[in-house]
């Protein structure tokens, strides 16, 4: 009972949580031991619009055939069960290191959902899932600097880890006080444009979609993140991992998959991200990675072992995001009062080689990687 009371205080006031230990988390990897992944349909992509503290997002990563990279994203949140708020974000990564990236972040007004909660609407913004669940249209005129009009269509099935995709937090895991869930459409095609002051940018190419629900304060759920999104001519590979704060035993959860058009080759929690070398950032003392290794392991439909690897120098980062400077006010409220929370995101976009082994067959594929290393708290 005392632990529950401390948790409620942390939920409302943003205070640091007590040490519950690894017994207070049930990783989705436990489900994945018996069922590595589940293919998702439109029901798995619904907005939950929860009444309690949470951050919910749909993120669309766009890779044009011309080499442009962009993000379009909706974040929907609730602070302490008191106030819902939504934000539309877009980012176009500059090809020229001397030119700033175009980052636009705008509060959404008059937010509403479709009856089945698969689509979100607001003034000058719509993110719609098609009736067959195969495509999203993203339209936004919320910022005249970045007018988004794209359609993202899945080229391979989507998945979530295990049966439900859920990692649960709490001292009674049958009635958890927090959750983390991800669902992915890793291999998609995109068409359409993002129009800037210099004119429209054609984003015909590849895309990846990530749905995320952090059903608790984000900095209580995870202290660090690593994300990888590889897009090649024939294969896509994604990796998402997070490590909890010491409150939950500094537990690491990995989810990843390898896909090609029309097929999930493998997906599981038997993956790993290793920052093989790093350098200290004097601004915040975080270890900025300089070389990274992603490892995927699993089995295919025919039970053949599957292994994949990206082992690459990251080169110069394309951006370092001070989250507390960039995010909307509602996120600042969520993390207010927590000592030691200093979130930064390091972003890199190197060209890399995916090494894939399916049974005895070895495949090498060159492609584009977008990877992020996020540090939130010790």
pLDDT digits (tens, 9 = 90+) for 230-255: 999 999 999 999 999 999 999 999 99
| % of the chain exceeding 90 in pLDDT | 78
Q: What's 250's DSSP letter?
A: T
Task: Please name the residues in contact with 102: beta carbons below 8 A apart, sequence gap of 6 or more.
Answer: 90, 91, 92, 94, 145, 146, 196
Tell whether the model's pLDDT for residue 195 goes beyond 90: yes
Average pLDDT on 28-49 reads 96
Residue 173 near residue 167, CB atoms below 8 Å: no
Question: How confident is the model at residue 10, as a pLDDT?
Answer: 45
More confident residue, 69 or 304: 69
Q: Which CATH number fits domain 20-375: 1.20.120.340, 3.30.1180.10, 2.40.370.10, 2.70.98.90?
A: 2.40.370.10
Question: How confident is the model at residue 309, as a pLDDT?
Answer: 98
Domain boundaries, the chain: 20-375
Place of tokens 């599957």: 306
Query: For residues 305 and 114, what is the distance between their CA atoms, to the nearest angstrom?
Result: 42
Label residue 5 by pLDDT band (50, 70, 90).
very low
Label residue 284 by pLDDT band (50, 70, 90).
confident
Question: Hey, is 303 helix, strand or coil?
Answer: coil
Phi-psi region of 210 (alpha: psi -120 to 50; beta: other; left: phi over 0): beta
Residue 162 near residue 181, CB atoms below 8 Å: no
96 token code pair: 């020229």
Between 233-237, 265-269, 303-307, the lowest mean confidence (pLDDT) is in 303-307
User: What are the counts of helices (DSSP H) followed by strands (DSSP E) for the chain?
Assistant: 5, 27
Question: How confident is the model at residue 15, as a pLDDT?
Answer: 52
- Residue 186, CB half-sphere, CA atoms under 13 Å: how many? 34
Question: How confident is the model at residue 335, as a pLDDT?
Answer: 53
More confident residue, 336 or 206: 206
Query: For residues 219 and 343, what is the distance between their CA atoms, to the nearest angstrom?
Result: 9
| Spacing of C-alpha 337 from chain mean position | 25
Label residue 276 by pLDDT band (50, 70, 90).
very high
Question: How confident is the model at residue 377, as a pLDDT?
Answer: 85
Average pLDDT on 151-173 reads 97
**Nearest 5°: CA angle at 64, between 86 and 240?**
55
Average pLDDT on 105-113 reads 95
Task: Please name the residues in contact with 343: beta carbons below 8 A apart, sequence gap of 6 or more.
Answer: 219, 322, 323, 324, 335, 374, 375, 376, 377
Tell whether the model's pLDDT for residue 206 goes beyond 90: yes
Question: Hey, is 59 helix, strand or coil?
Answer: strand
239 token code pair: 């990796």
- Regarding beta strands 159-161 and 37-39, do their DSSP bridges make them parallel or antiparallel, or are they unpaired? antiparallel
Label residue 37 by pLDDT band (50, 70, 90).
very high
Question: How confident is the model at residue 220, as a pLDDT?
Answer: 87
Measuring CA to CA, how many Å separate 117 from each of 129, 211, 214, 276, 297? 10, 13, 17, 42, 34
């Amino acid at each position: 009972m005392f632990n529950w009371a401390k948790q409620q205080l942390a939920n409302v006031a943003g205070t640091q949580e007590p040490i519950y230990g690894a017994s207070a988390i049930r990783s989705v990897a436990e489900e994945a031991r018996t069922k590595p992944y589940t293919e998702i349909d439109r029901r798995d992509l619904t907005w939950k619009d929860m009444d309690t503290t949470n951050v919910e997002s749909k993120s669309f990563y766009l890779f044009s055939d011309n080499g442009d990279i962009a993000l379009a994203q909706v974040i929907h949140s609730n602070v302490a069960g008191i106030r819902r708020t939504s934000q539309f974000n877009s980012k176009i990564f500059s090809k020229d290191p001397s030119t700033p990236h175009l980052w636009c972040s705008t509060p959404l007004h008059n937010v509403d959902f479709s009856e089945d909660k698969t689509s979100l609407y607001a003034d000058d913004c719509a993110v719609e899932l098609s009736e067959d669940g195969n495509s999203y249209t993203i339209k936004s005129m919320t910022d005249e600097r970045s007018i988004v009009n794209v359609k993202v269509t899945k080229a391979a099935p989507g998945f979530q880890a295990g049966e439900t995709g859920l990692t649960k937090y709490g001292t009674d895991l049958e009635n958890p006080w927090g959750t983390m869930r991800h669902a992915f459409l890793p291999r998609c095609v995109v068409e359409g444009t993002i129009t800037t002051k210099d004119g429209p940018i054609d984003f015909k190419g590849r895309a990846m979609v990530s749905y995320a629900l952090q059903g608790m304060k984000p900095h209580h759920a995870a202290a660090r993140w690593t994300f990888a999104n590889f897009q090649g001519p024939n294969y896509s590979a994604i990796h998402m991992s997070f490590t909890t704060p010491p409150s939950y035993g500094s537990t690491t959860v990995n989810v990843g998959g390898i896909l090609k058009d029309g097929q999930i080759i493998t997906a599981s929690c038997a993956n790993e991200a290793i920052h093989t070398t790093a350098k200290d950032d004097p601004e915040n003392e975080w270890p900025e990675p300089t070389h990274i290794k992603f490892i995927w392991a699993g089995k295919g439909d025919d039970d053949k072992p599957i292994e994949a690897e990206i082992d690459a120098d990251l080169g110069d980062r394309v951006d370092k995001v001070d989250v507390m400077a960039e995010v909307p006010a509602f996120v600042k409220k969520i993390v207010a009062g927590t000592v030691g929370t200093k979130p930064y995101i390091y972003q890199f976009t190197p060209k890399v080689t995916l090494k894939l082994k399916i049974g005895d067959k070895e495949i090498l594929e060159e492609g584009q990687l977008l990877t992020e290393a996020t540090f939130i708290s010790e």
